[in-house]
Structure 1
């Protein structure tokens, strides 16, 4: 699988990584093992441990896998987020104070059974936490060996620039990015390109909306946010492109996302063999220019950025 530099950092990442947002108690340990080894066998070692996994199921499963298999921890690029608690009451789910971040990170490391993660991500912007405290906490985590790199998620361009001004090294940034959600083109990605921050695309399938032909299939309650006439038009275009290319809509949508300027890689939820097949197909696929241009046009992304050639 292709690997890219994560911005101007020294870290090289696979173009598509394994996301665990859909890993819940219904996912069998053997299935999780097969998915992880399937990605590794095709050159993708990036595993993103989602902060929204119910009851930290993803952490528990990965911890079991690391303990029960012959898998070498050093073969993996583990990415972990802190600062967001999906089980907390509404209005108190984001807490990026030093106390909360370190407490959550240390608990995650214990459950995973590892001393460090490769990329530690601040899960959200917290206006209640001073930027100096946030930067100092990042320094502490790096100097203590708990993480090799630090990153942020969901920041606006000005927020990234504000924090980057306190840092000596480029600060990778993750954001929701897909054919249905690409407002980052207007703000975050130009800022990230200027600052040398690699961009990690999350939700590249828009919570599965882009993965099903003609938008059919099981969706999470959160996916209804993408329920609009515009979204249906985009989904139809993706399905048409997939039929013409002889592949799945998910493969088309993923190939589009990782082909966008400034995007170093994308993290996609994988919880069954079909998902794995889509990811592996997309990692080897380059959309023909006319199809890419048509998708840019129908999604409203045309002309916003200079497309990677």
Structure 2
């Protein structure tokens, strides 16, 4: 598996990151351990998690592995803070005290003294950006985070926080990016490129839809059939997405590859993408993504997929 530089920083990561959103909830310790073993054996290094995943359960599971057979030196950890649980559900909170308290709790759960990349999980319209930046500065200066960045920020907010940052600089932005979701091409990715930030693409398989598993029906063991994830998949079970999946499947058949391999290769071939985050419920589901990591798409195939999935872009991005 290739290693790539994250933007213009000194941080290099594996081209695929292992996502842990399902860990400790849909994915138990044995399956999670099998996933991590397969990922490391394939040359992967970057684990992506968040304090909010399973209420901290995903990080705790990572901690048990790092305290067992997996060496901390063999993995890079990216975690996120800024979403705290309340009686009414999740609340975006990028205030200094919440961010730093969350980071300390994350480090304790994972049994480590630092994370390699720490991200603000979502844009907070209430907390002053200077306060959020101060928390990032404290994290780096104290050694608790090696690099920092943002996640799910709109383009203008990405540019704002990066422009105001001095030390540390904003290294990465983590955003949803796939053939089914290309909205970040309007402003976020151009901003990241101009500011020297690398992009980490979450859900590069279109929340699982680009595997082709939903072409005929909803499998009983799929996310779309899950009570807590059905709403996550539903936006991409529409006619537009179906047309893109059909084109992807045709391209994959012509290359004698699986649709998910072609979808991943498309994302990894996009300018500015440092890594694509792949997650699965089981190790068997993860395996095809790992074998597809180094596929290079023929330019004609990439261009055809670009055309069929192109987002609507108009004023002021394009005149």
Same fold (TM over 0.5): yes
Aligned equivalent of 1:96, options 94, 118, 130: 94
Is 1:65 matched up with 2:65?
Answer: yes
Going from structure 1 to structure 2, the CA distance change for 1:303 and 1:129 (only over 3 Å counts) comes to closer
Aligned residues of 1:213 and 1:249 also touching (Cα < 8 A): no
For 1:50 and 1:159, the matched residues in 2 are separated by 21
Deviation (angstroms), 1:24: 3.3
User: Structure 1 residue runs of 4+, over 4 Å off?
Assistant: 301-304
Aligned equivalent of 2:257, options 244, 247, 261: 247
- Give the stretch that moved more between structures: 182-191 or 238-247: 238-247
For 1:287 and 1:47, the matched residues in 2 are separated by 26
Identify unmatched segments of 5+ residues in structure 2: 315-319
Q: Which residue of 2 aligns with 1:157?
A: 155
RMSD: 2.0
Deviation (angstroms), 1:303: 10
Going from structure 1 to structure 2, the CA distance change for 1:156 and 1:25 (only over 3 Å counts) comes to closer
For 1:87 and 1:287, the matched residues in 2 are separated by 45
Query: TM-score, structure 1 length as denominator?
Result: 0.92
Q: Which residue of 2 aligns with 1:307?
A: none
For 1:171 and 1:165, the matched residues in 2 are separated by 12
Deviation (angstroms), 1:120: 0.3
For 1:86 and 1:20, the matched residues in 2 are separated by 19
For 1:292 and 1:303, the matched residues in 2 are separated by 19
Aligned residues of 2:52 and 2:81 also touching (Cα < 8 A): no
Aligned residues of 1:15 and 1:264 also touching (Cα < 8 A): yes
What is the aligned length? 302
Q: Which residue of 1 aligns with 2:203?
A: 203
For 1:52 and 1:206, the matched residues in 2 are separated by 21
Is 1:175 matched up with 2:178?
Answer: no
State the Cα deviation string for residues 80-101 of structure 1 (Å, max 9, x = none). 00001366525x5211111111
Q: Which residue of 2 aligns with 1:55?
A: 55
For 2:186 and 2:194, the matched residues in 1 are separated by 13
Aligned residues of 1:19 and 1:50 also touching (Cα < 8 A): no
Q: Which residue of 1 aligns with 2:82?
A: 83
Identify unmatched segments of 5+ residues in structure 1: 305-309
Is 1:131 matched up with 2:141?
Answer: no
Aligned equivalent of 1:291, options 293, 297, 301: 301
Deviation (angstroms), 1:68: 2.1
Deviation (angstroms), 1:164: 0.8
Aligned equivalent of 2:286, options 253, 261, 276: 276
Aligned equivalent of 1:238, options 229, 234, 248: 248
For 1:280 and 1:87, the matched residues in 2 are separated by 37
Q: Which residue of 2 aligns with 1:9?
A: 9
Deviation (angstroms), 1:214: 5.3
Aligned residues of 1:204 and 1:257 also touching (Cα < 8 A): yes
Query: TM-score, structure 2 length as denominator?
Result: 0.89
For 2:188 and 2:87, the matched residues in 1 are separated by 28
For 1:292 and 1:258, the matched residues in 2 are separated by 11
Aligned residues of 2:24 and 2:61 also touching (Cα < 8 A): no
For 1:65 and 1:88, the matched residues in 2 are separated by 31
Is 1:191 matched up with 2:201?
Answer: no
Deviation (angstroms), 1:264: 1.2
Q: Which residue of 1 aligns with 2:73?
A: 74
Q: Which residue of 2 aligns with 1:108?
A: 106
Secondary structure of 1:172's aligned partner: strand
